[in-house]
Amino acid sequence: MPVKIIINRNKVETRVEYAFKQGMGVLANEILNDCNQYCKEDTGALIASSYTHSKLNEGKLIWQTPYARRQYWEIRTAIPDPNAKASWKWCEVAKRYHLKQWTRQAEIALRNNL
């Protein structure tokens, strides 16, 4: 007995887009928190700027201080950082340690919102 399946592409696309948007803010917030574990923390302004300027629902993580770019790419600093985990390229360090967890969370968020 033959079975005929009709897929409404527009409906599927809309549903997947909705699920993606619903999970984006939660996942971006988790990634931001993980990245900030490895962010330089001399005065705390750099980390604070990430919570103020990031656009989590769009998936944009932003550290916005006059020295943010230099701190991200600078290998050494003259003063030891109070954050023992602090590193240059802190997002890459976070990705190295947390990528599997982020991927798992993205899959769960997508499934829960479909």
**pTM over 0.85, yes/no:** no
What is the reported pLDDT for 93?
Answer: 96
Q: Is the pLDDT of residue 49 over 70?
A: yes
Q: Is the pLDDT of residue 108 over 80?
A: yes
Q: Where are the alpha helices (DSSP H) in the chain?
A: 9-36, 45-53, 68-73, 90-113
What is the reported pLDDT for 2?
Answer: 87
pLDDT in tens, 55-90: 999 999 999 999 899 889 986 666 677 888 888 899
Q: HSE, CB side, 13 Å, CA atoms: give it for residue 35.
A: 25
In the block, residue with structure tokens 């993606």: 20
Residue ranges of the domains in the chain? 24-113
Sign of CA dihedral 39, 43, 44, 47: negative
What is the reported pLDDT for 15?
Answer: 87
Residue type, position 104, single letter: R
